[in-house]
Amino acid sequence: MIVIRRIVGNSMLPTLRPGSIVVGWRASAWSKLKVGDVVIIEHGGLEKIKRISQIKDQQIFLLGDNPSESKDSRDFGWLSEDAVRAILIWPRYT
C-alpha cells in the first residue's frame, strides 16, 4: 500500500526539502529493512522521516541527513523495527 506524505522540517536536507512530497511503501512484517533506507517511523505521537544508519537485533538507529539540525537516535536512542510505518520509494536517493 502506498503512503504519500509532505515533508515538514530541515533534518533531511539536502536530500528532502521542506514542502516536498514523498512516496513510500507501507511497512509490513515481511518488509526487509536495510541500512541506508529512508523510513517513516511513528515516534512520540508523530510520523517522522529519517535514514537507517545501523540495524542490530531488530533495532534500528536513525539519523537525519542534516545532522546539525536533526533530532534522531542520537537523542532518542535505538527504536524497534516495529516503529517503521513506511519505506521511501520516491524520490529515489543514493
Partner 1 sequence: MKISMTSLLGIKPVYAHCDLPCGVYDPAQARIEAESVLQIMKKYPGLDHQEDKWRAVFIKEQRADLVKQHLWVLWTDYFKPEHLEKHPNLHDLFWQATKQAGNCKKTVDPAEGQVLLDMIAEIDAVFKATKAA
Residues near partner 1 (CB under 8 A): 4-13, 16, 18, 21-22, 40, 46-50, 64, 66-72, 74
Name residue 80's beta-bridge partners: 59
By the 8 A CB rule, do 47 and 41 touch?
yes
- Distance CA(69)–CA(66), nearest Å, equals 6
The smaller minimum CB distance to partner 1, of residues 67 and 91, is found at 67
What's the CA angle centered on 48, arms 34 and 18, to 5 degrees?
110
- Compute the least distance from the CB of residue 48 to partner 1, in Å: 5
- Compute the least distance from the CB of residue 73 to partner 1, in Å: 10
- Compute the least distance from the CB of residue 70 to partner 1, in Å: 6
Residue found under cell 514542502? 19
